[in-house]
């Protein structure tokens, strides 16, 4: 038995009807691991149900596919692998699985299995289900087949008798076994949603379980959502967790170990952030057994340059940093982009961890793996896609973030509600005053939900190739125009985006897509969170605390800047507009006259 060693995967096996698929899903969710169900993989690969593979191609072909899938699965790490009930009988499969994971067998009495199969509870679309039930005496058939497999099931590292247990209880048992037999820590991250949004109201519900068991699961999810909320980014090349919580910095080292990181951590931070959190982070890393070095850069967008990256390389070379070491980006989006760029390029790419400390960093810059530096001729002209190994957002750090930076970050949060999630928008409307006071629980929820929305979009379009990310540009066409026309001096990004979103909403209204009440609701929420809604002098200048005039910014300058935007690439502008709150559409046929009319409205006194 594999006691006390690092267990890289969990393999869940057992007869049909023991709940392998649902339990595996739940365990993966709780451990924040990947999930691979070999039957599902095969179905996806061949494009037909397993019963059909059996019927049309024969069992031999199915076993071949199964072996191939298991071989692939065993190359994974931190994955819960659910295997078909007959897979383990094959000695080659068993060898591979036992070398690459802890094998847990789910057991149940033949009577329980028979009853569950008839109710179709917890059974995967397995090979033997139909033939088993199609006989005169299914119970007897189950007994026989099960008995013939028993010697193989007996080779599992751990067995759980599932009769009378709910899916959630079985999952808990699996995790207990994993803890007992490995050197794993006590803390199991909870993934509230994969590819999706953590919703208080959308907790895991196990179909087919008795009501009491379902209630238990809900209670656990609610309790756990008070701790670290997380979601998972799954791209074609990598999958990594995002943790969002209050006071989470203390757990940074631990989470990094869980993500299989080791060696020396080079913390890259700016002076403002490092003076507040640097020594704490260094200590937490050392406590978890990492070596810790720190490289501190001056705060401000000017630091996001090739020169700074070169200084970081020099530091890494001097400290003999190796490919197995790790870079920790501690700071706002500027630090994240710069440190991530260094991580993407040093030694052709090394592991890195994002620890965003600004609202923009937590809900936007920190998620998606876009890293880069500025060129004197343009922002973010030099960069790469390099996904971090994990993101950890401690919302408590926002208590020291300057007010204006915080306010600017809210624009992106509101944007997520507007483009994709009406319920979230309503949540923001209902909780503005508590959110601006940084009430820990609600703040964590808002950030986790925003991060999950961005993660979901990014998961679908890692490298911005298929245009799915375009929707994130709501408010950004005008926003970027404003930033460029003012040489990035006048507005913080979120402020420009807020005004841009008002432009996009009005444009949507002009084109007959969006009712005026929706425009008003958007405007009211932006204003309540302290964001500007037009270029009118009083709005902008009150916030900046100095005199100036919104009217100085001419329409020509803004439109020219918009049309030169690198995302436009000389073609028609792809406008992200709204059809409703929570429902964005992309239109490239917007008449210039309407755009100018809207811009005129934005600058009108
Ligand atoms: N990679 C992406 O996908 C992406 C997305 C959006 C923005 N960005 C980039 O992010 C950058 C903007 O990020 P930002 O708004 O976080 O700016 P920033 O990193 O410059 O931080 C803003 C200011 O807040 C300070 N600060 C940060 N956290 C703090 C804290 N907890 N307490 C006290 N002070 C704190 C910083 O020192 C800085 O002075 C830009 O460079 C932008 O291009 C990148
Ligand atoms: Zn933005």
The answer, yes or no, to whether residue 434 has pLDDT greater than 60, is: yes
Averaged over 102-115, what is the pLDDT?
A: 89
For strands 291-297 and 326-331, give the pairing: unpaired
For strands 352-356 and 326-331, give the pairing: parallel
pLDDT on residue 232: 73
Testing ligand 1's pocket by substitution, the residue of 365, 374, 386, 406 carrying the most ligand atoms inside 8 A of its CB is 365
pLDDT tens across 179-191, in order? 877 643 333 332 3
Which residue's alpha carbon is nearest to atom 10 within ligand 1?
Answer: 333
pLDDT on residue 475: 97
pLDDT tens across 356-377, in order? 999 999 999 999 899 999 999 8
Predicted TM-score (pTM) of this structure? 0.67
Ligand nearest to the CA of 406: 1
Testing ligand 1's pocket by substitution, the residue of 303, 352, 360 carrying the most ligand atoms inside 8 A of its CB is 360
In terms of pLDDT, which residue wins out, 549 or 198? Answer: 549
Q: Residue 540's pLDDT band (boundaries 50, 70, 90)?
A: very low
In terms of pLDDT, which residue wins out, 199 or 344? Answer: 344
Task: Tell me what percent of the residues of the chain surpass a pLDDT of 90.
Answer: 55
Averaged over 533-561, what is the pLDDT?
A: 60
pLDDT on residue 131: 57
Distances (CA, A) of 205 to 33, 340, 413: 19, 38, 28
Which residue's alpha carbon is nearest to atom 6 within ligand 1?
Answer: 365
**CA gap 163, 214 in Å, rounded:** 16
Q: Are 561 and 378 in contact (CB under 8 A)?
A: no
pLDDT tens across 257-290, in order? 888 888 999 999 999 999 999 999 999 999 999 9
* Centroid of ligand 2 to alpha carbon of 32 (angstroms): 28
**Contacts with 66 (C-beta within 8 Å, 6 or more apart), sequence order:** 38, 42, 83, 84, 87, 90, 93
The answer, yes or no, to whether residue 205 has pLDDT greater than 60, is: no
Ligand nearest to the CA of 404: 1
pLDDT on residue 245: 92
Q: Are 80 and 33 in contact (CB under 8 A)?
A: yes
Averaged over 388-417, what is the pLDDT?
A: 97
Residue 423 tokens read as: 């319920």
Classify 37 as helix, strand or coil.
Answer: strand
The answer, yes or no, to whether residue 220 has pLDDT greater than 60, is: no
Q: How many CB atoms lie within 10 A of CB 148?
A: 11
Which residue's alpha carbon is nearest to atom 9 within ligand 1?
Answer: 333
pLDDT on residue 248: 94
Using the atom order of ligand 1, give the atom closest to the CA of residue 361.
16
Averaged over 332-346, what is the pLDDT?
A: 98
User: How many angstroms separate the most distant Cα atoms in the chain?
Assistant: 88
pLDDT on residue 463: 65
Averaged over 501-528, what is the pLDDT?
A: 97
Q: Residue 337's pLDDT band (boundaries 50, 70, 90)?
A: very high
pLDDT on residue 197: 33
Averaged over 56-83, what is the pLDDT?
A: 89
**CA gap 188, 29 in Å, rounded:** 10
Q: Which residue has the tokens 């940084």?
A: 438
In terms of pLDDT, which residue wins out, 589 or 126? Answer: 589
Using the atom order of ligand 1, give the atom closest to the CA of residue 380.
43
Domain segments of the chain as ranges: 9-184, 229-401, 457-603
Residue 404's closest CA among 533, 540, 268? 540
* Centroid of ligand 1 to alpha carbon of 409 (angstroms): 9
For the chain, the residue count is 605
pLDDT on residue 467: 64
The answer, yes or no, to whether residue 226 has pLDDT greater than 90, is: no
**CA gap 164, 155 in Å, rounded:** 24
pLDDT on residue 55: 86
Catalogue the E-assigned strands of 98-238: 102-107, 158-161, 190-194, 229-234
Residue 15 tokens read as: 């007869």
pLDDT on residue 218: 29
Ligand nearest to the CA of 405: 1
Q: Which residue has the tokens 């993934």?
A: 191
Ligand nearest to the CA of 302: 1
pLDDT on residue 496: 96
* Centroid of ligand 1 to alpha carbon of 403 (angstroms): 13
CATH superfamily of 9-184: P-loop containing nucleotide triphosphate hydrolases (3.40.50.300)
Averaged over 570-589, what is the pLDDT?
A: 89
Using the atom order of ligand 1, give the atom closest to the CA of residue 340.
1
The answer, yes or no, to whether residue 140 has pLDDT greater than 60, is: yes
Classify 514 as helix, strand or coil.
Answer: coil
Q: What's the chain's average pLDDT? A: 83
* Centroid of ligand 2 to alpha carbon of 157 (angstroms): 49
229-401 domain in CATH 3.20.20.70? no
Asked if 229-401 and 457-603 have one fold, the answer is: no
The answer, yes or no, to whether residue 490 has pLDDT greater than 60, is: yes
Return the active site residues.
348, 370, 412, 454, 464, 469, 473, 476, 480, 493
pLDDT tens across 118-131, in order? 776 444 444 445 55
* Centroid of ligand 2 to alpha carbon of 474 (angstroms): 9
457-603: what fold?
A: Dehydroquinate synthase-like, alpha domain (1.20.1090)
**CA gap 452, 232 in Å, rounded:** 8
pLDDT on residue 137: 82
pLDDT on residue 272: 97
pLDDT on residue 149: 87
Among the residue ranges 181-185, 347-351, 588-592, the one predicted with the least confidence is 181-185
Q: Which residues have C-beta atoms less than 6 Å from ligand 1? A: 270, 272-273, 276, 299, 301, 304, 331-335, 337, 357-358, 360-361, 364-365, 368, 370, 380, 397, 400-402, 405
pLDDT tens across 245-262, in order? 999 999 999 999 888 888
Q: What are phi and psi of 569, to 5 degrees?
A: 50, 45
């Amino acid at each position: 038995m594999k006691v006390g060693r690092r267990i890289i995967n969990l393999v869940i096996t057992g007869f049909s009807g023991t709940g392998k698929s649902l339990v595996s899903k739940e365990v993966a969710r709780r451990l924040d691991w990947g999930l691979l169900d070999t039957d599902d993989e095969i179905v996806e690969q061949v494009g037909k149900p397993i019963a059909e593979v059996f019927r049309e191609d024969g069992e031999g072909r199915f076993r071949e596919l199964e072996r191939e899938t298991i071989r692939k699965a065993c190359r994974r790490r931190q994955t819960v692998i659910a295997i078909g009930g007959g897979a383990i009988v094959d000695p080659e499969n068993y060898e591979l699985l036992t070398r690459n994971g802890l094998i847990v067998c789910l057991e149940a009495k033949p009577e329980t299995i028979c009853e569950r199969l008839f109710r179709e509870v917890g059974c995967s679309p397995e090979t033997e289900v139909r033939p088993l039930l199609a006989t005169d005496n299914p119970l007897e058939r189950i007994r026989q087949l099960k008995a013939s497999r028993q010697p193989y099931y007996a080779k599992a590292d751990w067995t759980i008798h599932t009769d009378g247990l709910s899916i959630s209880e079985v999952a808990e048992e699996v995790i207990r076994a994993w803890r007992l037999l490995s050197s794993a820590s006590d803390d199991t991250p909870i993934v509230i949603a994969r590819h999706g949004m953590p919703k208080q109201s959308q907790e895991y519900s196990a179909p087919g379980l008795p009501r009491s068991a379902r209630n238990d699961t809900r209670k656990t999810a609610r309790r756990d959502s008070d701790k670290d909320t997380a979601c998972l980014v799954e791209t074609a090349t990598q999958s990594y967790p995002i943790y969002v919580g209050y006071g989470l910095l203390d757990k940074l080292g631990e989470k990094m170990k869980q993500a299989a990181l080791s060696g020396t951590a080079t913390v890259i931070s700016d002076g403002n952030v490092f003076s507040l959190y640097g020594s704490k982070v260094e200590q937490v890393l050392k406590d978890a057994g990492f070596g810790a070095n720190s490289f501190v850069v001056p705060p401000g967008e000017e630091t996001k340059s090739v020169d700074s990256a070169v200084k970081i390389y020099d530091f890494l070379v001097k400290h003999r940093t190796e490919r197995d070491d790790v870079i920790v980006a501690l700071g706002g989006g500027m630090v994240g982009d710069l440190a991530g760029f260094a991580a993407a390029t040093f030694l052709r790419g090394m592991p890195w961890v994002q620890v965003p400390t600004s609202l923009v960093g937590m809900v936007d810059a920190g998620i998606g793996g876009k890293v880069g530096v500025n060129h004197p001729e343009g922002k973010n002209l030099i960069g790469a896609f390099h996904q971090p190994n994990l993101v950890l957002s401690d919302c408590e750090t926002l208590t020291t973030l300057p007010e204006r930076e915080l306010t600017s970050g809210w624009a992106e949060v509101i944007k997520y509600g507007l483009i994709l999630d009406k319920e979230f928008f309503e949540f923001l409307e209902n909780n503005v005053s508590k959110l601006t006071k940084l009430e820990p629980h609600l703040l964590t929820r808002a950030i986790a939900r925003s991060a999950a929305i961005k993660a979901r979009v990014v998961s679908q379009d890692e490298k911005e190739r298929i245009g799915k990310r375009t929707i994130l540009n709501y408010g950004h066409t005008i926003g970027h125009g404003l930033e460029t026309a003012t040489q990035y001096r006048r507005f913080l990004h979120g402020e420009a985006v807020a005004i841009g979103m008002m432009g996009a909403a009005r444009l949507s209204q002009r084109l007959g897509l969006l009712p005026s009440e929706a425009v008003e609701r958007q405007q009211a929420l932006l204003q309540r969170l302290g964001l500007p809604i037009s270029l009118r002098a009083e709005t902008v200048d009150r916030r900046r605390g100095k005199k100036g005039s919104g009217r100085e910014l001419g329409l020509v300058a803004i439109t020219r800047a918009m049309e030169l935007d690198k995302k436009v690439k000389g073609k028609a502008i792809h406008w992200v507009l709204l059809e409703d709150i929570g429902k964005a559409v992309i239109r490239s046929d917007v008449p210039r006259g309407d755009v100018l009319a809207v811009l005129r409205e934005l600058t009108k006194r």
